[in-house]
């Protein structure tokens, strides 16, 4: 088969590692994934990443493969390829790009970015906001991640912590976050956040519900109940949407993007229920000029690994 010029994208997650062979126009030629098993240590994880990449090398001619992009949790230095403080992986400091490069069967250029930055670049390069030079990406899943593009450039910040919206404390007296602070945004705007809100509302006994504390209260259960009209589940998702509206207003006030793209498993699954209360809350919190033309879109990328592949073209253009 005659393949186009392409890149390999790798999305490194706490649960799984996904890889995709992607063409310059965003077409996925192959996709693979393995479990991360981070508790086995960084070297084992680097072995798995390299195994995925090596498995795709034979699918293209060497001259057609431009490089590898990796999206990772934590503070990722795109210059050195070092990942620091990736709490969900248990990593304090790991040389990601050099570690993977040393395990590949042939030399390849490798670039790494924070996973949400990679997803933002994926939306800018291939996704629903393709070519939009002022955008914010928010990924809602097991946590809340953020990335931003301004004037076509990914924003990293002075010490690589730009757009860490998941760890902006909305309520310093709130729930303990994995980062060690209290009331961070992702303690409410995430899968576990939705479960926590649901438990809190059940205890108040203010709403009728088919749910009870003996259940796991997995986000999918809450969402299914909400779609069946369960009052308490709808109230829980509305509360989460209101918290998301605060994040929208912050992004609108500070960055004035033309588009905010919502991704992540829960963000996509609950998009239609979350956005109305989020927009209503944003209207209460920021100037009309900052939000009047702002568009909120669903991500259309099949996998975050496609965003990681976009890193290759982005860094080659710079």
| Number of domains the chain is built from | 2
Indicate if 160 and 240 belong to the same structural domain.
yes
Dist. CA 190–CA 196, nearest whole Å? 10
Dist. CA 14–CA 177, nearest whole Å? 16
**pLDDT of amino acid 1:** 38
Consecutive 10-residue averages of pLDDT for the chain (318 residues):
79 94 93 96 98 94 93 94 91 97 95 96 94 96 94 92 94 91 96 96 94 88 97 98 98 97 96 98 95 95 94 89
- Residue 1, in any domain of the structure: no
- Residue 218, in any domain of the structure: yes
**pLDDT of amino acid 169:** 95
- Residue 202, in any domain of the structure: yes
Dist. CA 31–CA 26, nearest whole Å? 13
**pLDDT of amino acid 14:** 87
**pLDDT of amino acid 214:** 79
Dist. CA 242–CA 177, nearest whole Å? 19
Closest CA to 274 of 226, 232, 242, 228: 242
Q: Domain containing 52: what range?
A: 6-122+303-317
CA count, 13 A, side-chain hemisphere, 212: 2
CA count, 13 A, side-chain hemisphere, 94: 24
- Residue 88, in any domain of the structure: yes
Indicate if 308 and 291 belong to the same structural domain.
no
Cβ count near 107 (within 10 Å): 8
- Cα dihedral angle (10, 38, 113, 293), rounded to 10 degrees? 90
Q: What's 87's domain CATH number? A: 3.30.420.40
Q: What is the pTM of this model?
A: 0.94
Cβ count near 172 (within 10 Å): 9
Closest CA to 32 of 12, 3, 13, 55: 55
Dist. CA 191–CA 274, nearest whole Å? 13
Alpha-carbon Rg for the chain, nearest whole angstrom, is 20
**pLDDT of amino acid 3:** 54
Q: Which two tokens stand for residue 275?
A: 């956005």
Handedness of CA 102, 55, 125, 137 (dihedral sign): negative
Indicate if 80 and 224 belong to the same structural domain.
no
Dist. CA 239–CA 188, nearest whole Å? 9
């Amino acid at each position: 088969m005659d393949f186009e010029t392409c890149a390999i994208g790798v999305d490194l997650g706490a649960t799984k590692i996904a890889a995709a062979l992607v063409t310059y126009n965003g077409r996925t030629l192959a996709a693979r994934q393995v479990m991360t098993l981070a508790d086995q240590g960084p070297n084992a994880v680097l072995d798995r990443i390299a195994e995925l990449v090596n498995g795709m090398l034979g699918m293209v001619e060497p001259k057609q493969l431009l490089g590898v992009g990796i999206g990772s949790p934590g503070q990722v230095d795109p210059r050195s390829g070092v990942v620091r403080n990736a709490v969900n992986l248990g990593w304090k400091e790991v040389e990601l790009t050099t570690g993977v490069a040393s395990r590949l069967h042939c030399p390849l250029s490798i670039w790494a970015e924070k996973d949400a930055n990679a997803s933002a670049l994926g939306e800018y390069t291939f996704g629903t906001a393709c070519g939009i030079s002022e955008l914010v990406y928010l990924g809602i899943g097991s946590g809340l991640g953020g990335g931003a593009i301004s004037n076509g450039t990914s924003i990293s910040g002075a010490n690589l912590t730009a757009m860490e919206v998941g760890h902006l404390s909305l309520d310093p007296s709130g729930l303990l976050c994995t980062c060690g602070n209290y009331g961070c945004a992702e303690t409410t705007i995430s899968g576990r956040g939705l479960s926590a809100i649901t438990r809190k509302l059940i205890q108040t006994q203010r709403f009728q519900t088919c749910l009870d504390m003996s259940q796991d209260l997995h986000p999918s259960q809450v969402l299914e109940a909400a779609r069946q009209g369960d009052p308490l589940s709808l109230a829980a998702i509305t509360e989460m949407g209101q918290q998301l509206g605060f994040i929208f207003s912050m992004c609108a006030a500070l960055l004035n993007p033309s588009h905010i793209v919502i991704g992540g498993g829960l963000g996509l699954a609950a998009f239609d229920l979350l956005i109305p209360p989020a927009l209503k809350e944003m209207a209460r919190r920021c100037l009309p000029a900052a939000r009047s033309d702002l568009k909120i879109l669903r991500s259309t990328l099949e996998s975050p690994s496609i965003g990681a592949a976009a890193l290759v073209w982005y860094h080659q253009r710079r």
